[in-house]
């Protein structure tokens, strides 16, 4: 493993960092069950990564199935900040607590749910910075409107956003 090719070629560094306060309002509310803060998106990191804070109310969301899903183009990592989150690693559901971490490479089956009965928070990292925001925005709109999708419509939605049922 070596360092990647340089992306910054100037002779001097520059002031280009971004800062977000802890109390900034989350950008997404998904079905009243999850509040998602888009800390860094693929767009703001020039495709390097995406980082979200995912806050879940007690008991939500519930896992749809034990089979999970996978992505073809990016890895995903979960780091539990607070509470307990059920994480699926493709073989086993396990209760993950503050400080626990799960890395999922491209093609790795995974899922998550808050089954603890308490609020929980985690960081979700996508690398490279896939454009996940449109998927979660669409999901929030669907849940917020109460619209019911057919199995075919869910499959098409997932496929548009590099998400495939395992």
Tens digit of each residue's pLDDT (9 = 90 or more) over 13-53: 999 999 999 999 999 999 888 999 999 999 999 999 999 99
Q: Distance (Å, rounded) from C-alpha 50 to C-alpha 128?
A: 7
pLDDT digits (tens, 9 = 90+) for 94-144: 999 999 999 999 999 999 999 888 999 999 999 999 999 999 999 999 999
Please state the pTM of the whole predicted model: 0.91
pLDDT at 20: 95
- Cis-peptide, bond into residue 125, ω within 30° of zero: no
d(CA 128, CA 112): 20
Average pLDDT over residues 143-157: 93
Q: Tell me if the bond preceding 136 is cis, omega within 30° of 0.
A: no
CATH node for 28-165: 2.60.120.10
In sign, the C-alpha dihedral spanning 62, 121, 143, 126 is negative
């Amino acid at each position: 493993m070596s360092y990647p090719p340089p992306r910054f070629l100037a002779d001097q560094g520059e002031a280009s960092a971004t800062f977000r306060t802890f109390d900034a309002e989350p950008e997404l509310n998904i079905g009243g069950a999850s509040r998602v803060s888009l800390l860094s998106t693929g767009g703001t990191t020039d495709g390097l990564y995406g980082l979200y804070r995912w806050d879940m109310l007690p008991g939500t969301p519930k896992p749809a199935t034990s089979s999970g899903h996978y992505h073809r183009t990016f890895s995903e990592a979960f780091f539990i900040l607070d509470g307990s989150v059920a994480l699926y690693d493709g073989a086993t559901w396990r209760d993950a607590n503050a400080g626990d971490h799960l890395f999922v490479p491209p093609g790795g089956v995974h899922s998550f749910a808050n089954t603890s009965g308490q609020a929980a928070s985690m960081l979700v990292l996508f690398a490279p910075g896939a454009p996940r925001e449109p998927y979660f925005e669409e999901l929030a709109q669907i849940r917020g409107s109460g619209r019911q999708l057919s199995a075919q419509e869910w499959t098409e939605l997932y496929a548009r956003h590099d998400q495939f049922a395992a």
